[in-house]
Amino acid sequence: MTPFPDDLSHWVWQHRYRWQPPGGGAPEADLEATWRRVAAAVARAEPKDRGRWEERFGELLAGFRFLPGGRIVANAGTGRAATLLNCFVMGRIPDTLPGICRSLEESALTLQQGGGIGLDFSTLRPSGAAASASGTIASGPVSFMHVWNSMCATLLATGSRRGAMMATLRCDHPDVLEFIAAKADPDALHFFNLSVSVSDEFLRAVRDDGEWPLLFPLMPGEQADSSRCPVRRWPGFAEPVPCRVQRTLRAREIWERLLTMNHDSAEPGVQFVDTVNAGNNLYWREYLTATNPCGEVPLPPHGACNLGSINLARFVRGPFTARARLDLDAVGEVARVAVRFLDDVLEVTGFPLAAQAQEVRACRRIGLGITGLGDALAMLGLRYDTSDARGVAGEAMQRICLCAYEASSALAAEKGAFPVFDADRYLEAALVSTLPAEIRCAIRDGGIRNSHLTAVAPAGTISLLAGNVSSGIEPMFAFDGQRRVLDAAGLPVCFEVTNDAVRRWRTAHAGQPLPAAFVTATDIDPLAQLQMQAVIQPWVDGAIAKTITVPGDFPRGRYADLFDTAHRLGLKGCTTYRPGTVRGQVLSVGRARTEVPAVHVERCCSLG
């Protein structure tokens, strides 16, 4: 019997993850061979009992119960010069032409090895500023984003995997309005997602209808005037620095322009930078200003995300019956093994840059999350937008989080804590301080192997591999549709697809209508989607990739309420999707062919 639930699942395995040695060697015979390759490659990190862990990892992967990040499945054990880590945040972009060119080269090398990248362009001086060394005028961050975009497009010509990049800019950078409007042109910056880094101070100025200074650190040789040069914490500087105010605008003018662009094109999203840093387990060591391309992992310069998702749909017992339940004990056991698996990935992966290897192994971040939530809830007979559904989701993420911290503390006793671990400071971190006493005691006594343990990725392609389960924490987008993917030549291939839970219901209940628990994203009030994020976020030390899907006729006037609610609920950012606004669509739904955005191509997920 084939392990593939549909033709697209088989195609994704064959064209994305099936290994065929170069020079005409025999390709992997079946999916089980792929899982054996991955399990054996990752288990090589084990200094003892390697055969036992290879077997355990194989069991972990079987049946689509645990879905590692796509780079792990594609590259582990192949010998390719390719990283196993999906995404990176690049180092600080120096505000000099040689420095910018070095950063561009490092970005190209990282993209070439399969890693998506995030960049904070706030370090580049605004357009119109004098470049004293050359006597020229600076063109500003957005102009250099186009250079990065062209580089990414050039690399795309070498393969079918799309390059993915995230650009971030501070809300007080003088070019913030240009950044907000950067993707108003539908042909611009196809390979970038955009996020404005928004501070609590800015949001207070919006509420108070206050003035907002746009500023930039003083150039070398400029003298600070305390009355005109406020001090700000700025990326690339260890301490706050004096900044020159370029001009002042009403905060609401900036905010309203951002909301209008988000309504019209789903770009840019928002990163609540103070919330991000307040929730950072390494708050004493890092100030985070950038994320990976889909926003679920805020990272320091040269940091990387090492991701995997537990497929909740595979842990529903007695689906579609009155006795249906989510097997949390089994979920917890998978979480424990998955922590070891992801930690071992850090030992066997290569890195495009030496600085990335140094940073990643100093902290040993991993991001264990979930996928298939929408399907699991339907199989349990729960509408996504109900309090009962939120209760199940929150309990599942809590179990994963607690089991992950337990497993990582046990790993530290066996293999050592992450190198920059500081027990006193770590135990004061926001999430860590809420852990049960026995876990905190274990961390104090023996350390913890990984600085961060949880993040919820979009899990787009791997969820297709698992039979088109709902991705990440998203609700089902559609019951049936047509999905477009790219072949090795970069040409589109279309498949008729059905959501996995829908297919399972129809197989077991031929001819019967779908129960009321089956709902799609456009059936769910946007505020209810934010509430789902909010019950999961307390158990996520990274962030959550989630798109707030709104109806096509959703009024522009309600956007402020969406973003304000996201901030008030403690989410780490917010992005929306309104049908008809996003480029790069890959899924058509029903006869009307309503289009769905392409994950990793255009902005379709956010921090949360």
Give how far Cα 157 sits from Cα of 236, 281, 346, 508, Å: 33, 39, 29, 44
Which of 258, 277, 296 is where one domain is finished? Answer: 277
If you search the block for the tokens 């004990």, which residue do you land on?
329
Q: Is the pLDDT of residue 593 over 50?
A: no
State the pLDDT at residue 128: 87
Which is it for strands 576-577 and 367-371: parallel, antiparallel or unpaired? Answer: unpaired
354-410 pLDDT per residue, tens: 999 999 999 999 999 999 999 999 999 999 999 999 999 999 999 999 999 999 999
Q: Is the pLDDT of residue 603 over 50?
A: no
Considering the domain boundaries, does residue 358 fall inside one?
yes
**Mean pLDDT computed over 306-328:** 97
Q: With beta carbons less than 8 A apart as the criterion, state whether 107 and 99 touch.
A: no
Considering the domain boundaries, does residue 204 fall inside one?
yes
In 3D, which of 221, 173, 157, 191 has the Cα closest to residue 490? Answer: 157
**Mean pLDDT computed over 108-112:** 93
Considering the domain boundaries, does residue 535 fall inside one?
yes
Considering the domain boundaries, does residue 490 fall inside one?
no
Considering the domain boundaries, does residue 369 fall inside one?
yes
Tokens encoding 201: 């101070």
Beta carbons within 8 Å of 219's beta carbon, 6+ residues apart: 125, 129, 130, 132
State the pLDDT at residue 74: 94
Q: Exposed, middle or buried by CB within 10 Å (0-12, 13-18, 19+), for 320?
A: middle
54 and 147 co-located in one domain = no
Q: Is the pLDDT of residue 605 over 50?
A: no
The boundaries of the domain holding residue 369 are 1-86+306-482+499-545
Q: With beta carbons less than 8 A apart as the criterion, state whether 574 and 561 touch.
A: no
Residue 592's pLDDT band, with cuts at 50, 70 and 90, is: very low
Which is it for strands 130-131 and 136-137: parallel, antiparallel or unpaired? Answer: antiparallel
Domain count, the chain: 2
Residues carrying an active site annotation: 292, 294, 296
H or E stretch including 211?
A: strand 211-217
245 and 147 co-located in one domain = yes
Q: Is the pLDDT of residue 24 over 90?
A: no
Residue 133's pLDDT band, with cuts at 50, 70 and 90, is: low
State the pLDDT at residue 162: 64
Range with the poorest average pLDDT among 42-51, 148-157, 264-273: 148-157
Q: With beta carbons less than 8 A apart as the criterion, state whether 166 and 157 touch.
A: no
Q: How many helices, marked H, and strands, marked E, lie in the chain? A: 20, 25
Give how far Cα 299 sits from Cα of 52, 156, 191, 292, 541, Å: 33, 25, 20, 7, 12
State the pLDDT at residue 161: 57
Average pLDDT of the chain to the nearest whole number: 91
Q: How many CB atoms lie within 10 A of CB 569?
A: 17
Q: DSSP letter string over 173-187?
A: STTHHHHHTTT-STT
Tokens encoding 135: 């006597």
Which of 529, 545, 561 is where one domain is finished? Answer: 545
Considering the domain boundaries, does residue 122 fall inside one?
yes
Q: Please indicate whether residue 93 or residue 607 has the higher confidence score (pLDDT).
A: 93
Q: Is the pLDDT of residue 595 over 60?
A: no
Q: Report the C-alpha gap between 198 and 343 in whole angstroms.
A: 32
Q: Report the C-alpha gap between 470 and 141 in whole angstroms.
A: 36
Q: With beta carbons less than 8 A apart as the criterion, state whether 48 and 42 touch.
A: no
Q: How many CB atoms lie within 10 A of CB 345?
A: 24
Q: Report the C-alpha gap between 397 and 537 in whole angstroms.
A: 9
409 and 458 co-located in one domain = yes
11 and 156 co-located in one domain = no
> What percentage of the chain exceeds 90 in pLDDT?
80
154 and 26 co-located in one domain = no
521-572 pLDDT per residue, tens: 999 999 999 999 999 999 999 999 999 999 988 999 899 999 999 999 999 9
Residue 137's pLDDT band, with cuts at 50, 70 and 90, is: confident
159 and 252 co-located in one domain = yes
> What percentage of the chain exceeds 70 in pLDDT?
93
Considering the domain boundaries, does residue 101 fall inside one?
no
Which of 240, 262, 277 is where one domain is finished? Answer: 277
State the pLDDT at residue 155: 84
Give how far Cα 424 sits from Cα of 227, 287, 410, 581, Å: 39, 19, 18, 48
45-84 pLDDT per residue, tens: 999 999 999 999 999 999 999 999 999 999 999 998 889 9
311 and 264 co-located in one domain = no
344 and 408 co-located in one domain = yes
136 and 229 co-located in one domain = yes
Give the distance, in angstroms, between the CA of residue 425 and the centroid of all CA atoms in the same chain. 26
**Mean pLDDT computed over 472-491:** 88
State the pLDDT at residue 3: 87
250 and 325 co-located in one domain = no
Tokens encoding 425: 């400071």
138 and 213 co-located in one domain = yes
State the pLDDT at residue 591: 35
State the pLDDT at residue 23: 82
Beta carbons within 8 Å of 187's beta carbon, 6+ residues apart: none
If you search the block for the tokens 């040409």, which residue do you land on?
491
State the pLDDT at residue 492: 87
Beta carbons within 8 Å of 555's beta carbon, 6+ residues apart: none
Q: What is the CATH number of the domain that holds 439?
A: 3.20.70.20
Considering the domain boundaries, does residue 371 fall inside one?
yes
3-state secondary structure of 509: coil
Kindly compute the dihedral angle of the four CA atoms of residues 35, 456, 337, 401, in this order, to the nearest 10 degrees. -170
Cα Rg of the chain (Å, integer): 23
Give how far Cα 429 sits from Cα of 39, 278, 279, 351, 453, Å: 33, 8, 7, 29, 13
Q: Is the pLDDT of residue 427 over 60?
A: yes
End-to-end CA distance of the chain: 40
Q: Report the C-alpha gap between 120 and 167 in whole angstroms.
A: 6
360 and 399 co-located in one domain = yes
